[in-house]
Every structure is written in structure tokens, then in C-alpha cells.
Structure 1
């Protein structure tokens, strides 16, 4: 009974293919009633021809477009995108067919639009029913897949944890092969232990295992080769889950490069199309900010000039996107002085800080000229704060992931700053905490996250008592 659906998966797929055809036929008829206010049989014959041709094409093409594979453990949103794209492709082929038979001029585009919308809705709705129906059965112990884990390091443990927590996916870890210290981490007494790689094949056959998940670390390449050879005759699904949890990088996104699968380890989320969106937002925000803040800039410029001799703006080299050097602009908050080689951070009651400088530093008004840097493309409104070059040289060897923060543009404000990590970083621990928040921002970036940080900065300012 537990394997009833699994053993009849081909019949389930065929039933769904028939259901798709029926849904598309009904959707086409409903589209005709909505647009023509009459059955399709009373409209131009090409509509009826297209109805049956496209429905037949869906029956033939949908399996090739992977619409009937197992979606357990995969994103429902991805399924809907694939479904919408597949149905659009079928309609385009149908439209091309009508062009070939010289009837494309008689096809109602509005009817095609209604057919597409109703069709994709009907296909999605009944799939949701099937999806959640199968999920319910899995929570009751039906339609589950028995899994054998090979390797129980950080990735193996994480896969096991997710299989237990997300029981609706229907994966039941029955046995684990692990060596040395990893074997001692298996705490569940109900989990069978496979003692050697040579025993895996026999265990899989004897216990009707459906899938093998290989989670050996990358350093165990010889073992991976041995596993591949020993499982060459094992006729079940074998998944290799690369042990990338131990790699402290920005991302683990799979992609395709030169026709081969690759894993991007340090590609930030805010790249590609997301980067274009973020850049447009930055430029627009900077223009508005500079226009609105112009009167304040004038007042601060006058006060700075009156407080001590020297320029209004302070300019200092910093590292930007991918380590490119640029000059960051600030309102000058200190008396003009020379430093021999090393940059000394401001400390409490620093005699170099002018009276107006103490105020603008405490309120972060000294950072406002960096909107000019944003317009120049050197900085973003939100991002990791740029540090002095000497600090980069110091911390890049002390903190393993320090330089990853330069994979995005530095920002005027950031995730670390609104959580209180700003100002003086006189210890490695303080800098490590700031970098931790910076990497969290880079790994989890979204436009909404930027908006939250900007709003927090605008209404509450940068928190923390170590800004002087």
C-alpha cells in the first residue's frame, strides 16, 4: 500500500496528460463563450482547428518539457513558471501552424489570450490539488521514498534534518553509511548503519531503497570514485549533494557554463538583472536626496568653514566593487592634519575633531556627501561600509571572509550599521561581527531589504555608542 503510487507513477502521469487535454479543451470553449458569446462551432473554423491541434500538441510536448516529473522537495513556484511557459510555447506553435495554412488573419488574438489565461489557471489549480493531495498522503506515511545517505558530515546531517522537518516531501532516511567521527553523530537508533561501501548495493536491493543521497565532502574524491563504481549496477535514483555548506562563500547557485554544470561560490544575489534594478534605484534615490538636502549642505558647509580652516569635504581612498579603488566624500569633521602612513580611527574625546565635527559624526551627517559617490557609480545607498585601505590590509588576513564584502558596491548605510556595528572597530571581534552582518546582507539582498534599511536609518538613525 505504501508504494502504490510510486509503482503506478506511469499511470498517474498518463492520467494527468489526459486531464491536461480535457482542461485545455474546456478552457478553449470557455474562452469562446466569453469573447464571442457563442460556441466555437459558430465562429471561424480555424478556432476549432486550433483548439484540437494545441490540445494534441500539449499531450505530446508537455512530457518533453518535464511537466510530469516528481515535484516533491522542489519549489511550487518553479512548477507554475514552467507550466505557464510550456503552455505559451504550445500556443505559439499553434499560431505558427495557422500561419502556414494561411488562416492566421482569422484567428482572434483576444480569444487566444482568454484561452491562455483560463488554460494556465485550470492547469495550475488541479495541479495544486494533486500536489497537496500527495503531500497529505506523505504525512500519513504513504507514497514515501526510502533513502540511504552516504556520508554524514555537515551536508549529510543537514539533508537528514530537512527530510525529517519537511515530512510532506515524503523522504524517509532509512540507513546511513558514515565513517569515523561522522558515524558517532548518528543518534537515531531506528536508522540502520551500513558499515562499508561494498554493502550499499545489497542493502538497497534487500530493503527496497528508492534513492541514494551521496553527501561525501569534496576532499573525499577517491571515495566518490569508489562509490560511483560500486553503485554502477544499482538501479535507483542516485543524487550527489556537493558538500558546499562548509564553504563560507556568498552563494551556492547552480548554473551552466560552456555546457557544463557549475556552482557559483561568490556571486552576490544583487548581480545580473537584480544589479540593474538596484543601480537604477540608487541613482534615482541619490538625485532626489541631493536636491532635497541642498539647503542642509549649504548650512553645514558654512559651519565647517567657520569651525576651522580647510576644505568643506574630506576625501579618502577606499575599495569599491571588486576591489576597485575610489575616493569617498565626507563633510570634514576634523582639523586639517597629516598622518604618516597609518590611518588612526577617531576615538572618544579625540582632540582632532572640531565642535561641529563631533555633532555631524554623532548624527552621521558627515556621510551625506556620499550621495555624490552614488551618482558617480562608486557606491550604493545600501551596502557594506567602505573601510580605510590600511584596515583592509590588516583584516583580510585576520578574517577569512573579510574581502567578500567587496563583491558588492559599498553603501552609505548598511545592515551592520542599523544593528549598532558602526564607528570604531578597535578589536578583531568587533570587525568580525560587522563582517558577519555585511555577508548576511549580501547573501539575502532584496530591494525590500534595502527599503527597510533606508527607512530604519531615516527614522532611527544608526544605532550604537561607539561613533565619535
Structure 2
């Protein structure tokens, strides 16, 4: 039944893609040659246009097929589907351009470029509509694949909850096999315990199952080995959920190293193009910020110099990305002898402040020179606020996962700061907000934080 449904759904995708590709080619032709763009070299002959259309209707579906866009992948996200369409379309267009160059005397490259644009939009939109429609069908209980979960512990319960919470993926748990014989006949998160782990072959013989998900703890590896030997003789799909959630700290997941699958327990949240994009974002916006705040910084420098003895700027050692230290720049708000007795945090009513220091700290004007830290690459506009190394060792001992905030560059402002966590507020709470930012980072989120900061996110009652 499922194979027939899958073939039917695949045929719909192929037919829809062909229709959208034909429409895209027609729109490209009309845009280029029917009055929208001036025609200077004449209109291509009809037979040449039909040949190019035929090649497009063959090359694109073939490339989509090679890119696994016609195979079942219920776990692929909408964004993942659209990105796969984008990559396959680019590849297909390059093949099409090469073939038309070598096999035809000429064909309008602008028409092919327009065709790519139209095809990307039309195919992506129809694919998204089909996915949403199929997700709704699955939510209503149709086109479901059955799952047998092996393991009634925390890992097994998590699998059942995930299936239940994502009905649009089209899975249904029909049974659980338990290690504890006393659990047989009971339910785990609503799913019936239909037998013990040793009964796996009997259960598979008694009822149709599309997938077996093994969710056993690490100490049961001998049982997993035996299960794999038994299931290797069957055609059922087998998935293994590794019992590593307790060890994954940040950006963990499955990676590949020279064809060898590796489970990463702790990774880099901003790598490759993400890091390049964030650095470009920092350079552009820090230059703009320096230009806009230059008059304010000039007036502030004069006020600092006129109201107290000592340097205008104060540089202090802070810890940034990967535990590297740098010197942060601030307008001086304390007396020059403020730390003769040793390092200590600022507090409300701090008597070490200069006459203008309270004002500068309250409105975060003392932070403005840090745009130069951003420009040279020591800091980022947005990120966890940097702490002094002298305090960090104590924080690392007291607060789990504290060190993970150093996986990214420190920032002038951050998610914790715009939510009022400044000064002597809860360090634990600040770390939670910092890690939330790191795990959910995007340029859009950075922009949102900067806008909220500009609109008063730093005007906190805890700023001193």
C-alpha cells in the first residue's frame, strides 16, 4: 500500500515539476521576446526554441532525480527542500547552457537566466504547497508509516513524544518493546508495550511495521548488537537513536569525516559562510556606528578629561572567543585608583565612580569606544558580554556550561542585555540567555537585538 502511495505521490511531483518548468520557459520566452525587453538580434526559430524546451524538460527532472528530490524524506524540512531545489536547479541550468552551447548554433543566454529564475520560484512554491498539503493529510491520519520503538526508558519516551508532536511527518508508533518484562501490557506515553526486546521477530511477524527505532541506553550495547544481527535479515527500515543527549552541549550532531560517520558532542555554532557573514555585518555596522556617534564620543572625551584626572579611555583585559584575551576600550568612569586593592565588580552606589561616571554607565555611553574593538575584530556587535579573566575561573566552577559562551566573539550588546540582565543580576540567568542566542543565532536576530538596543535595550535599572 505504502509503495503504491509513494509512486502516486512521486508521479504528482514529477508532473507538477514538468508543468511548472514548461510555464517557466514560456514566461522567460515571453519576457525576453514579446515586448518586455528590446529585441536586437531577432527571435530564435521555433524549432530551436522547442528543442531547448525539450532539453529543459528532460535535464531538470533528471537532475532533480539525481538530487533525491523524488525520494521519500519525511525528516527533511521545508527550508531543506527549497535549498535542495535551488542546488539542483543551478546544476541543471549549467548542464543546459553547456549543451545548448555545444549542440546549437546559439540560444539566448538571457532567456535561460530568466527561465532559471522563474523555474526556481514556480517549482519551489508548488513543492511547498504539496508538502503542506501532504502534512495536513498526515495530520488527519492518512499516509502514515508505522514505527516499533525498542526501549521504554527516557530515550524511548523521547522518540514517542517526538512522533506524537510532529504528526505532519506521517509516523505512528504501533508498539514498544521493553527491557523490563513487567512493563509488557502497559503503555509508554500512550503507546502500548507489546512485548519484550527478545520478542522483536515475533512482533514483526504478527503486524506490519515500516520502521524499527532502537532507543536503548549505552549500557545495553550488547542487546543492540544482537538486535542488529536479527534485523539484518529483514527488509524493515532500522534507525538507532544514540544515547548521547546527556553529553551534547552545543551544536552537536552527526558529521562525516572522510566517509566515516562521527557524532559531534560539541561544535562550532558559527563556521564557514556564517562566520564570514557575521564579520562583514560587524564591519559595516561598526563603521556606520562610529560615524554616527563620533560627535557624542568627542563631547564625552572632553567631559571625562575636564571632570577627573587620568586618561580618557580605560582599557581592561577581557576574555573573548576560544578563551583568547583582548583589551576592551571604554570611556573611563572610575577614579584611577579604583582597583588598588584588587579587582572587584561595580555595584550600585559605587563610590569609586567619577562625577560623570554614573551618567555614562546608566546610558551606556562609556561603551561607545568598543565599536573600534569590533572594527579590528576583537569583538562583535552582538554576543555575550565579555568578563574579566580574574572572575571567569570562579564562574566556570559554579555554573555548568559557562565556558560555552566563549565559542563566539564577545559583543557590545546581547540577548541577555536587552532583556535587562546587566550589572549584578543572575549570572546563571545571563548564561541561559547567552546560550540561547548562540544556539539560535542568525543575522536577523543580530539586527533585532541591535534595534532593541538602539530603542532603549541598554537603559536598564541594573546598569551602574
TM-score, normalised by the number of residues in structure 2:
0.87
1:25-36 correspondence runs (5 A): 25=22, 27-28=24-25, 31-32=28-29, 35-36=32-33
* Structure 2 partner of 1:460: 456
After superposition, the C-alpha distances for 1:78-124 in whole angstroms (9 at most, x for unaligned) are 223322332432343233233333x2x42122332344344445544
2:439 paired with 1:439: no
Q: Say which SS state the counterpart of residue 256 (structure 1) adopts.
A: strand
Residue 249 of structure 1, CA deviation? 1.9
After superposition, the C-alpha distances for 1:138-195 in whole angstroms (9 at most, x for unaligned) are 23322111111223455543332232232222111111234469969x8558522144
User: Could you tell me whether the CA contact under 8 Å between 2:60 and 2:89 is conserved in 1?
Assistant: yes
Range moving further from structure 2, 58-67 or 407-416: 58-67
5+ residue gaps, structure 2: 36-42
TM-score, normalised by the number of residues in structure 1:
0.86
Name the CA distance, whole Å, in 1 between partners of 2:294 and 2:97.
57
Range moving further from structure 2, 366-375 or 244-253: 244-253
User: Could you tell me whether the CA contact under 8 Å between 1:343 and 1:388 is conserved in 2?
Assistant: no
Name the CA distance, whole Å, in 2 between partners of 1:237 and 1:399.
42
Name the CA distance, whole Å, in 1 between partners of 2:411 and 2:125.
44
User: Could you tell me whether the CA contact under 8 Å between 2:156 and 2:215 is conserved in 1?
Assistant: yes
* Structure 2 partner of 1:173: 173
Name the CA distance, whole Å, in 2 between partners of 1:347 and 1:410.
22
2:293 paired with 1:293: yes
User: Could you tell me whether the CA contact under 8 Å between 2:305 and 2:311 is conserved in 1?
Assistant: yes
User: Could you tell me whether the CA contact under 8 Å between 1:383 and 1:438 is conserved in 2?
Assistant: yes
2:334 paired with 1:334: yes
* Structure 2 partner of 1:89: 91
Name the CA distance, whole Å, in 1 between partners of 2:106 and 2:45.
10
Residue 446 of structure 1, CA deviation? 1.6
1:138-287 correspondence runs (5 A): 138-179=138-179, 191-218=191-218, 220-287=220-287
User: Could you tell me whether the CA contact under 8 Å between 1:415 and 1:437 is conserved in 2?
Assistant: yes
* Structure 2 partner of 1:62: 64
The verdict on how the C-alpha distance between 1:449 and 1:15 changes in structure 2, with shifts beyond 3 A counting, is closer
| Equivalences, count | 456
1:305-344 correspondence runs (5 A): 305-337=305-337, 339=339, 342-344=342-344
Q: Say which SS state the counterpart of residue 213 (structure 2) adopts.
A: strand
* Structure 2 partner of 1:418: 418
Residue 435 of structure 1, CA deviation? 0.6
The verdict on how the C-alpha distance between 1:89 and 1:277 changes in structure 2, with shifts beyond 3 A counting, is closer
Name the CA distance, whole Å, in 2 between partners of 1:465 and 1:122.
52
* Structure 1 partner of 2:40: none
Residue 17 of structure 1, CA deviation? 3.9
